[in-house]
Amino acid sequence: MIESNKKYVIGLDFGTDSCRALIVDVRNGEEVATGVSFYPRWKAGLYCDAQSNRYRQHPLDYIESMTEAVHIALSHLTEEEIASICGLCFDTTGSTPALTDCNGMPLALNPEFAEEPDAMFILWKDHTAVREAEQINALMKERNLDYLLYEGGTYSSEWVWSKVLHVINTNSRVKEAAYSWTEHCDWMTGLVTGNTIPEKMLRSRCAAGHKAMWHERWLLSSSEVLLELNPSLNRILPHLFTQTYTSDTRAGTLTAEWAGKLGLPQGIAVAVGALDAHMGAVGASVAPGVLTRIMGTSTCDIMVAEKHEIGDRCIEGICGQVDGSVLPGFIGLEAGQSAFGDIYAWFRKFMSWPLKNIPEGEAKQKVMDTMLIELTREAQALKLSENDIVALDWMNGRRTPYADQNVKGMIAGLTLGSTAPEVFKALVEATAFGSRRIVEHMKAQGLHIDSVNGIGGISKKAPFVMQTLADVLNMPIRIVRSQQTCALGAAMFAAVAAGVYQDIMEAMKYMGADIEVEYKPDTRRARVYEILYKKYLELAKNAEYINL
Q: What is the pLDDT of residues 271-287, one digit of tens each?
A: 999 999 999 999 999 99
Q: What is the pLDDT of residues 505-527, one digit of tens each?
A: 999 999 999 999 999 999 999 99
- In this prediction, residue 2 has a pLDDT band, given cuts at 50, 70 and 90, of very low
Query: What's the confidence (pLDDT) of residue 361?
Result: 83
Query: What's the confidence (pLDDT) of residue 547?
Result: 64
Residue at 312 is within a domain: no
Question: For the whole prediction, is pTM greater than 0.85?
Answer: yes
Domain span including residue 119 = 8-284+482-513
Dist. CA 495–CA 72, nearest whole Å? 21
Query: What's the confidence (pLDDT) of residue 411?
Result: 97
Angle CA 321–326–331, to nearest 5 = 40
- CATH code for the domain of 167: 3.30.420.40
Residue at 257 is within a domain: yes
Sign for the pseudo-dihedral over CA of 396, 399, 400, 403: positive
Query: What's the confidence (pLDDT) of residue 3?
Result: 46
Dist. CA 29–CA 36, nearest whole Å? 19
Mean pLDDT of 439-455: 94
Residues 499 and 432 in one domain: no
Instruction: Tell whether the model's pLDDT for residue 319 goes beyond 80.
Output: yes
Q: Is 510:28 a contact under the CB 8 Å cutoff?
A: yes
Residues 236 and 381 in one domain: no
Residue at 38 is within a domain: yes
Query: What's the confidence (pLDDT) of residue 32?
Result: 97
Q: Chain-wide mean pLDDT for the chain?
A: 95
Query: What's the confidence (pLDDT) of residue 49?
Result: 96
Residues 345 and 486 in one domain: no
Residue at 305 is within a domain: no
Residue at 311 is within a domain: no
Picking from 546, 541, 547, 539, the residue whose alpha carbon sits closest to that of residue 411 is 539
Residue at 290 is within a domain: no
Query: What's the confidence (pLDDT) of residue 477?
Result: 97
Dist. CA 500–CA 86, nearest whole Å? 9
Tally Cβ neighbours within 10 Å of residue 148: 19
Residue at 61 is within a domain: yes
Residues 492 and 522 in one domain: no
Residues 186 and 98 in one domain: yes
DSSP 235: G
Query: What's the confidence (pLDDT) of residue 1?
Result: 42
Residue at 94 is within a domain: yes
Q: Is 286:326 a contact under the CB 8 Å cutoff?
A: yes
Instruction: Tell whether the model's pLDDT for residue 4 goes beyond 70.
Output: no
State how far the alpha carbon of 99 is from the alpha carbons of 163, 173, 176, in Å: 10, 12, 11
Residues 196 and 160 in one domain: yes
Residues 258 and 366 in one domain: no
Mean pLDDT of 299-323: 94
Return the percentage of the chain with pLDDT > 70, whole number.
99
Residues 492 and 535 in one domain: no
Q: Total structural domains in the chain?
A: 2
- In this prediction, residue 365 has a pLDDT band, given cuts at 50, 70 and 90, of confident
Query: What's the confidence (pLDDT) of residue 432?
Result: 98
Residues 52 and 126 in one domain: yes
Phi and psi of 308, rounded to 5°? -70, -25
Residues 509 and 528 in one domain: no
Q: Where are the alpha helices (DSSP H) in 52-204?
A: 59-74, 79-83, 130-143, 160-170, 172-177, 184-193
Query: What's the confidence (pLDDT) of residue 548?
Result: 56
- Contacting residues for 473 by C-beta, under 8 A, at least 6 apart: 432, 435, 436, 439, 452, 521
Residues 99 and 137 in one domain: yes
Q: What is the pLDDT of residues 401-424, one digit of tens each?
A: 999 988 999 999 999 999 999 999
Residues 46 and 57 in one domain: yes
Report the first-to-last Cα separation within the chain, whole angstroms: 58
Mean pLDDT of 383-390: 98
Query: What's the confidence (pLDDT) of residue 348?
Result: 94
Instruction: Tell whether the model's pLDDT for residue 223 goes beyond 90.
Output: no
Q: What is the pLDDT of residues 209-222, one digit of tens each?
A: 999 999 999 988 77
